[in-house]
A and B are shown apart, each in its own frame.
Chain A
Amino acid sequence: MTESLFFFFASLTLLCAVMVVIAKNPVYSVIFLILTFFTISAHYILLNAQFLAAVNIIVYAGAIMVLFLFVLMFINTGKNVQGTVKGSIISKIAGAVAGGLLFVVVVAALKDVTLGHPDPATYNSQVGMVENLGKVLFTKYMLPFQLVAVLFLVSMVGAVMIGKREAGEQNF
């Protein structure tokens, strides 16, 4: 059951991810990207990591992708967006070569990766539950967690500084 579900979601994820790249209309790309996040969340649920699944939806599908769509709508407003992806044959060849090289790098990097094989006797299937995740974050990984929080604070302050209206600028 779980295995067939995994293959179903894996193929769906790949299909959506490919559609993100080949869709001509950027709004379709964003919608397929949202679908990709959903199928990735389905993988998290299969791995018993419900918290990650929910947070993935909230943060990526619920907030970041809305902003993507927001920007795209502003850019494309009123225009016929069909065929915005154009390019000469040279840029297509260059793109194919660059993509192929990236693929080679990924394959080379993954070649020597050993997948973890947890011991079924000692493995705790509840490790992805929100209580356990919180405990681990606030004990074992306390320092990285706090550092990430500081990083977020810095980026928030930066965003506020950029978005702040200068004195004398028109207010709406």
Chain B
Amino acid sequence: MDSVLLIYKGIYILAIFGISLLIATYSTYFERKIAAFIQDRVGPNRAGPFGLLQPLADAGKLFFKEEFIPARANKVLFILGPGIAMLVAAMSSAVIPFGDTLILGETTFDLIAIDVNIGVLYIFGVVSLGVYGLMIGGWASNNKFSLLGAIRAASQNISYELAMGLSLIAVLMLSGSLSLKVIAEQQAGFNWNIWYQPLGFLIFLICAFAETNRTPFDLPESEAELIGGYHTEYSSMKLGMYLFAEYINIFVASAVMATLYFGAYNFPFMENLRNAFDDPVLGNNVVTILGVGVMFAKIFAFIFFFMWVRWTLPRFRYDQLMKLGWNILIPLAILNILLTGGGILLYDYFTKG
């Protein structure tokens, strides 16, 4: 039994890792296609049918480019930077429940890699580490533009982490648990957290954009003022790693938003569907498989939203960014906590007498 579970977990973690990489790879393709659609162009259409092999061609090109390390750069940290960025990005999908349970024969398989009871804190911790890859890489390049990009990244991430944590607290007050699996289970059917936490979701969404360094918060790499920001000196696959880590971060941020606010793998009338089958095991499995599909549909919807915003909005100015984070989002998040607390107390007062 134990060895079966161990092998299953190993395969599952590998699968999740592979899926994150695959989605990140094809995010680059869809980013360009969506950009092309918004700007009334065609987009990549040469490599393969509809340009579907474009990500492979891009990766091949990056691999064959010259591996360049600046002469006065700190070599160890210069190589370590993209590695850290990639590692941290790939770590966070471990605690996300992509589905409910599959029952095969006697065994029940949970569709979650590690079900820890501090899942939300784990995500938060990994997110807060994400900035090291950027900072170390930017500093090690020994280039003022890279350093400025790194410093912008650090101050931006620290500023928006606070508002992000505060907006999460309201969700935790509702759910009473730090486990993402429990939070997902509580949103069964159409009972999603977004109905109770619209303001919290908005704050979390904005902070997710800031934490993944996406437009309108891509100041660390704003090419107009900083050339390329923290990855100015990077070439070849080391640059590819940075860009790739950004797409994995988008995938994970989308998955976290879908889990926390949009009901994870739950969809309306899932209980009716489950009860429609005579065999409870078959019903459970069908609902789970549909749920996994629904979860990924939600994730793709969020990834699309990330891209939509990128090609619609211009970039913030640096002082606007700081003002939004500290003067608007944090007070709003605290207000949200107060409102949620008041709401819970009122609900308890009226329902429990």
Name A residues whose Cβ lies closer than 8 Å to a Cβ of B: 25, 27, 31, 34, 50-51, 54-55, 57-58, 61-63, 66-67, 69-70, 73-74, 77-78, 80, 129-130, 171-172
Closest 7 CB pairs of A and B: A62-B128, A54-B121, A57-B125, A58-B125, A73-B139, A50-B118, A54-B118
Chain A residues whose CB sits within 8 angstroms of the CB of B125 once the complex forms:
54, 57-58, 61-62
B154 at the interface (CB under 8 A from A): yes
B151 at the interface (CB under 8 A from A): yes
The answer to whether A77 touches B135, judged by C-beta atoms less than 8 angstroms apart, is no
Chain B residues whose CB sits within 8 angstroms of the CB of A34 once the complex forms:
132
A27-B77, A31-B136, A73-B135 known; A50+B161 contact, CB < 8 A: no
Name B residues whose Cβ lies closer than 8 Å to a Cβ of A: 72, 74, 77, 116-118, 121-122, 124-125, 127-129, 131-132, 135-136, 139, 142, 144, 147, 150-151, 154-155, 157-158, 161, 178, 318-319
Chain A residues whose CB sits within 8 angstroms of the CB of B135 once the complex forms:
66, 69-70, 73
Most buried by B among A51, A66, A77, A78: A66
The answer to whether A51 touches B150, judged by C-beta atoms less than 8 angstroms apart, is no
15 contacts between A and B (CB under 8 A): A27-B74, A31-B77, A54-B118, A57-B128, A61-B128, A62-B129, A66-B154, A66-B157, A69-B132, A69-B136, A69-B154, A70-B154, A70-B155, A80-B72, A130-B117
Complexed CA–CA distance, A78 and B224 (Å): 22
A50, A66, A78: the one within 8 Å of B158 (CB): A66
Chain A residues whose CB sits within 8 angstroms of the CB of B142 once the complex forms:
78
Complexed CA–CA distance, A172 and B150 (Å): 19
Complexed CA–CA distance, A70 and B154 (Å): 7
Complexed CA–CA distance, A25 and B140 (Å): 12
Known: A63-B128, A69-B139, A74-B151. 14 other contacts (CB 8 A): A25-B74, A50-B117, A54-B122, A62-B128, A63-B161, A66-B128, A66-B154, A66-B158, A69-B135, A69-B136, A70-B154, A73-B139, A80-B72, A172-B319
Chain B residues whose CB sits within 8 angstroms of the CB of A67 once the complex forms:
158
B136, B147, B319: the one within 8 Å of A77 (CB): B147
A57-B125, A73-B151, A77-B147 known; A51+B136 contact, CB < 8 A: no
